Chains A and B, each alone.
Chain A
Amino acid sequence: MDPIIDLLSWMLILAGSFFVIVGALGLIRMPDVYTRMHAGSIIDTAGAGFLVLGLMLQAGLSLITLKLLFILAIFFFTSPVVSHALAQAALAAGVEPELREDRRADGMGKTSDGDKSNNKSKDPTR
């Protein structure tokens, strides 16, 4: 195999491994569900993308490349769908995101300390 393509594919595989580790670390260390989804989607996009691209360069042009392309397409279409469903289900079940300040227009979420500063613009009966 052409050594340049070989080197490129090893670099892609190493980058994919790095992003997979980063995403998994974020899955452990992030504070609430929504930020964990942000970290977990790194595995689906950068990690899987780089890894599968590196494997495609290793495989050359064959049926294996097509199968890897299908795996990439599955990730491309299902990862946003699952993320959306998960975030909507968590929000509907009443899991509040951890906010330092509430930027939503009606201010319906709980804030830790932001209520003092924007009390004047709000409905006083609230």
Chain B
Amino acid sequence: MFVAATLAILAALTLAVTRAIVGPTVFDRVLAGNSVGTLAILLLAVVGFLTGRPEWLDIALTYGLLNIIGTLAVLKFFRYGDLAYDQEDDA
């Protein structure tokens, strides 16, 4: 049954990557990238149980923390064109 969950997550990953490739705006791609990160966390957890090594959950936790930072950084970059944007320069 872990195999069924793994296959479902892999199918969802394929669809999300498809949206990231064809997405008309950059926000579609960012949304698809965030979904890919979420699905990767779930895949790590389920495959960890599938192979009987739940230590993979540590990697899943790290990936979850990286996912939000990466998404917010990409959004900030495309909004301001710079990650070191300073509010007071904007006038």
Contacts and interface: CB of A to CB of B under 8 A. Distances in A.
Interface residues of B, number: 42
Given A17-B5, A85-B75, A90 B25 contact: yes
Contact of A23 (B12, B18, B30, B78): B12
A20 B75 CA distance: 24
Chain B facing A: main interface SS: helix
Interface in A14-37: 14, 16-18, 20-21, 23-25, 27-28, 33, 36-37
B17 to A, nearest CB: 10
A78 B35 contact: no
Interface string B1-25: 1101100110111011011000001
Interface of A: 10, 13-14, 16-18, 20-21, 23-25, 27-28, 33, 36-37, 40, 43-44, 47-48, 51-52, 55, 58-59, 64, 67-68, 70-71, 74-75, 78-79, 81-82, 85-86, 89-90, 92-93, 95
18 contacts: A18-B8, A20-B9, A21-B11, A27-B15, A27-B16, A36-B28, A36-B31, A43-B12, A44-B38, A67-B61, A71-B57, A71-B64, A74-B64, A75-B64, A78-B64, A82-B68, A82-B71, A93-B25
